[in-house]
């Protein structure tokens, strides 16, 4: 049994590990993450090649990665400028750029099911989009994320991610940046380097390691199967990646996401987020681009809900031991290797 509080150095908050709660009785509805039959094309899908989107635009007959401006953007530089709400409350235009990136023309393949070369093409496009969007002097944050599976609210199963470029620093990255700056002031060390060193010294939670990237279940995991990918070099954002680092990242993503699906031989719903250094007047030299994978299942058929403590109090309760979950993911890796 693992029952303790662990310090999350990037968010500067405590996470409670209570692995004994994973065996608690559950009489609620079981989550269904079973895989739908694979089809290459769906005539009703707004993301499939040659189909008409809700905006009226026709998708090209693309055969690789396809990027377009989101037809339902959360942020847009053409959004209306609101009237002032009065003396106390504040508001502003919901300005920014929102794009959709389809990974593949096939309707129901997953990122984990693409070849390593195809995943590399996806990463290349993440880099290209970051390069283009950061050229806009209004943009402070380029945030790329993938929601996979109905359990995380994905509106379309076609394999895709979203890219939000906004004229402010999003909250999580602001908190991480502040943590790196405080750590430099207090210890005169790079916080990300210290995390890598601590994970390698322990060794039990490592899932992927080469000369460019380290993949692991973090000591401070907020969710049972949460995974991080950290670069070994000072990569502030994806624009800093060398070709070798891009190839390594593609391989790491393929291995980690495949292991996740191999856990219980079914597709895992997850949120994948890419954290990049923002444009800031403060010192960003210690910030490192990293990828966070947040699987939303804690056991077969059991969803990890963000309930009262997580949502109301902001206190994450992880009912799985990061060390034990890393072992499960490594075993899934080995099963996949022996099957292939």
Residues assigned a catalytic role: 160
Cα dihedral value 224, 229, 234, 239, nearest 10: -130
Compute the distance between CA of residue 63 and CA of residue 278 in angstroms, rounded to an integer.
Answer: 32
- Positive/negative CA dihedral, 99, 100, 101, 105: negative
Give which of 263, 270, 261 is closest to 296, Cα–Cα.
270
Distances (CA, A) of 265 to 157, 205, 297: 18, 21, 13
Compute the distance between CA of residue 22 and CA of residue 302 in angstroms, rounded to an integer.
Answer: 10
Pairing of strands 297-299, 206-209: unpaired
Q: Residue 168 corresponds to which tokens in the numbers above?
A: 């402010």
Any idea what DSSP says for residue 268?
P
Alpha helices in the chain (DSSP H): 116-134, 171-187, 191-202, 243-262, 322-339
- Positive/negative CA dihedral, 275, 279, 280, 285: positive
* Other C-beta atoms lying within 10 Å of the C-beta of residue 142: 28
Alpha helices in 2-77 (DSSP H): none
Asked if 27 contacts 260 with a C-beta cutoff of 8 angstroms, the reply is no
Q: CA angle, 63 as apex, 58 and 64 as ends, to 5°?
A: 105
Q: Which residues is 171 bridged to in the sheet? A: none
């Amino acid at each position: 049994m693992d029952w303790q509080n662990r310090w999350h150095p990037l968010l500067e908050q405590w996470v409670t590990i209570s692995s004994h709660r994973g065996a608690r009785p559950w009489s609620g509805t079981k989550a269904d993450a079973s895989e739908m039959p694979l089809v290459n094309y769906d005539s009703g899908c707004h993301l499939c090649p040659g189909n008409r989107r809700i905006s009226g635009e026709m998708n090209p007959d693309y055969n690789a990665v396809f990027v377009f401006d989101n037809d339902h953007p959360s942020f847009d530089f053409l959004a209306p400028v609101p009237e002032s709400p009065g003396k106390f409350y504040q508001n502003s235009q919901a300005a920014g750029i929102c794009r959709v990136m389809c990974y593949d023309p096939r309707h129901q393949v997953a990122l984990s099911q693409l070849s390593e070369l195809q995943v590399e093409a996806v990463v290349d496009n993440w880099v290209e989009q970051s390069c283009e969007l950061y050229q806009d002097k209004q943009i402070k944050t380029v945030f790329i994320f993938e929601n996979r599976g109905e359990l995380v609210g994905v509106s379309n199963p076609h394999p895709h991610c979203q890219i939000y470029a906004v004229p402010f620093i999003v909250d999580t990255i602001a908190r991480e940046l502040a943590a790196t700056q405080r750590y430099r002031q207090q210890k005169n060390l790079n916080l990300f380097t210290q995390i890598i060193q601590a994970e390698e010294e322990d060794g039990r939670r490592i899932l992927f390691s080469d000369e460019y990237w380290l993949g692991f279940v973090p000591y401070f995991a907020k969710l049972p199967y949460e995974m991080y990918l950290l670069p070994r070099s000072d990569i502030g954002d994806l624009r800093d990646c060398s070709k070798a680092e891009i190839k390594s990242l593609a391989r790491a993503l393929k291995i980690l996401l495949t292991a996740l699906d191999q856990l219980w031989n079914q597709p895992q719903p997850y949120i994948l987020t890419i954290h990049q250094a923002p444009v800031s007047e403060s010192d960003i030299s210690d910030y490192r681009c990293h990828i966070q994978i947040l699987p939303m299942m804690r056991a077969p058929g059991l969803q990890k809900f963000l309930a009262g403590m997580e949502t109301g109090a902001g206190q994450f309760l992880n009912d799985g031991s990061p060390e034990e979950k890393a072992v499960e993911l490594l075993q899934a890796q080995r099963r996949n290797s022996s099957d292939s």
